[in-house]
Amino acid sequence: MRFKSNDKFLLVGILYILMVLVGLFILALIWLPPGYTLAGHDSGLPLDAKEFLRTRLYAWDDRLGFGADNSVNFGSLTIHSFDFLISIIAGVPYSGNFMSPFFWLSLIFVCSLVFAYQLKELFGKPFVFILPLALTFNFYIFQSMFMLERAKFGVFSAMLILLAMYFRVQNKKMYVLPAALISSVVFSIFNSGGLFGITLFGGVILVLGLMFLSTWFAAIKENQYKDFKRIIYLPL
């Protein structure tokens, strides 16, 4: 039985994804065995994920201090929703369980794979398998694992999706409107946790600036501004 080149690439890709996800799961079990929890002020990982999620549903909550304004924390609703779902999957009340590092590292890996796939024609098929590992296993990510900085992991993953949408629009594989909608939905979910995580968008702003500049320079060089006008609408 013969397989076409695309069929072989798809089969290898599926096996690759399964192997990496299994590896991440085993790694998470080694780091944080069942029965142990990751907790502490900087992590923001609640010991009771359900009750903590409830505090994010109100602008004022007596569990957070009398008269304290809780509205600045509304942005973290999505992060703590993931915390609650992860605690349910792990079968424990606390969110700092072994499923948390597995979920967030898997998210980064999958988003890296989506991004790398957009560069397949430029750098070749092996690049699709190499780049996701490099983006998942590096100091920038792992130095935050001791406190499981979910806000940073989320923004980083969303930025990779934004870049993937950018290259799809540039290569005329997708219209600007659906690309912009996908990017907006992803950043709405992985929003850095609200006001206190706004500094994490420094890298995103830098990437957007480089996107504009590279597209603008290409437009000047080719004296063709149609692509530049299309890219303007993507981050807006």
Q: How much is the average pLDDT of 54-70?
A: 72
User: pLDDT tens, 122-168?
Assistant: 899 999 999 999 999 988 888 888 888 898 999 999 999 999 998 89
**Higher pLDDT among residues 29 and 236, named by residue:** 29
Q: Are 53 and 83 in contact (CB under 8 A)?
A: yes
- For position 122, what pLDDT does the model report? 87
- Please give the single-letter amino acid code of residue 88: I
Angle at CA of residue 31, ends 28 and 33, nearest 5°: 80
Is the confidence at residue 42, as pLDDT, over 80? no
Confidence band for 228, pLDDT divided at 50, 70 and 90: low
CA dihedral sign, ordered 16, 186, 97, 101: positive
Report how far apart, in Å, the C-alpha atoms of 173 and of each of 4, 35, 72 are. 22, 47, 39
Query: CA 139, CA 136: separation in Å to the nearest integer?
Result: 9
Range in 27-31, 33-37, 69-73, 150-154 with the lowest mean pLDDT:
69-73
Among 105, 86, 106, which Cα is nearest to 45's?
A: 86
In angstroms, the CA 208 to CA 85 distance is 32
Nearest to 112 by CA among 173, 150, 156: 156
Residue 227 binned pLDDT confidence (cut-offs 50, 70, 90)? low
